[in-house]
Structure 1
């Protein structure tokens, strides 16, 4: 049985009105929405129609649901991720944190990285990026990056075993060194290639990043090249509502 057209139009009207209030700032990030009963009385519709309208905003990522039935305007504070400066030139790595963490602190935010390290067999994509045979051993450093205690990125860096074996790249935990680990072990990145894809997240990514329904992500692939070829590929999953990606270049 299909939903009657008047109900669909009423739900869309409620969503349009609330969206306009959110965009205009009448409903600010973190504000609690009026209750379903209040909205039903205001618009002269049923609770089912109100909930259908709010569901449209949930799918768009403008509204999130909470325990107890409350709905709030999503309140994420995006970070500016300048990919032109990231890991470029005189890197900001130190014993206190890598280039990414330093950039977050410089913006007045609090970074943290939860890092696990393991050996894996290179799948077709990683093998192509690193120019190694598929199935060959690589070392992977998997990071969950948080900002102010909230998950912001999933980043997996893969290194050829010939480069990583017996080096700090195999150490568990958030390891950082002045100039970056690769430079410190004699394999600096001399240039990089970036590939960015916009897509919907996998269920596992949604869970790890605590994504509301309907939130797209950017998949940022950075391949780092040394003198003899690729030395690292890093795949970062960045929620679209928590990032502003920036590039700067001379023309």
Structure 2
């Protein structure tokens, strides 16, 4: 687009955004140089940079070494939350239900797990139906796909359930049917809560999020015969996921 008047940062961002969404600038493509854009839009270098910064804030464009700007090219995963941890789970000694689903999609999963005990904060206590400050076991997983961070999943268990079990082991531990079932505390039903929000600084750092990228917070509370046996809080970058539910109607 060549404008007869000097374009604003907003109009430059609007036009480039349209090109990205229409496929004229496909994922992974390099944006025109700053000089090319100043000539195309009849704008100053400062105005062009401000327009590009708007697209960076939206997560549509990423900067690279050397000053190049490129259209983001992440390949999202489809995460079917109806099938996840339901029915015939695909856990094995080689990988849990999540890792198996990612492998079946032709991608390469990995999980980096740390374990600690701590006092339950208010949110976790409400989810697990325990008093605030009750001792719990916390398993934090950084899930990667094709060596890129895709999810930060933190599971909380009542200490009375996790103590002395594989849930206390560091690393990516998995068992056929899931660890909870293997230790005699299967999840009989679950409740999901999904919130869309902006990430915390720590989440942005651990998930390598470009500025302006929202996340889905997926909370899954797993219930045993009498009370919750686990709550898992998963932070999923919005640019890397398609969340799917399949329901009978």
- Quickly name the TM-score band, shorter chain normalised: over 0.9
Q: What's the CA shift for 1:202?
A: 0.3
- Structure with a larger share of its residues in helix: 1
Q: Which runs of 5+ in 1 are unaligned?
A: 1-5
Partner of 2:201: 203
> Which TM-score applies when normalising by structure 1?
0.96
Map 1:40-119 → 2, pairs under 5 A = 40-119=38-117
Partner of 1:3: none
Partner of 1:160: 158
Partner of 2:130: 132
- Render the CA deviation track for 1:122-170: whole Å, top value 9, x for unaligned: 0001011111111111011100000001100000000000100000000
Question: Alignment partner of 1:146: what SS?
Answer: strand
| Corresponding residue to 1:235 among 233, 236, 239 | 233
- Residues in 2 aligned to 1:237 and 1:68: alpha-carbon distance in whole angstroms: 31
- Residues in 1 aligned to 2:8 and 2:162: alpha-carbon distance in whole angstroms: 59
- Residues in 1 aligned to 2:170 and 2:42: alpha-carbon distance in whole angstroms: 59
- Residues in 2 aligned to 1:219 and 1:13: alpha-carbon distance in whole angstroms: 33
| Corresponding residue to 1:189 among 187, 193, 197 | 187
- Residues in 1 aligned to 2:107 and 2:174: alpha-carbon distance in whole angstroms: 19
Q: What's the CA shift for 1:58?
A: 0.8
- Residues in 1 aligned to 2:223 and 2:42: alpha-carbon distance in whole angstroms: 63
Q: Stretches of 4+ moved more than 4 A in 1?
A: none
- Residues in 1 aligned to 2:179 and 2:13: alpha-carbon distance in whole angstroms: 49
Question: Alignment partner of 1:241: what SS?
Answer: coil
Q: What's the CA shift for 1:60?
A: 1.1
- Residues in 1 aligned to 2:202 and 2:20: alpha-carbon distance in whole angstroms: 29
Question: Alignment partner of 1:26: what SS?
Answer: coil
- Residues in 1 aligned to 2:103 and 2:71: alpha-carbon distance in whole angstroms: 26
Partner of 2:30: 32
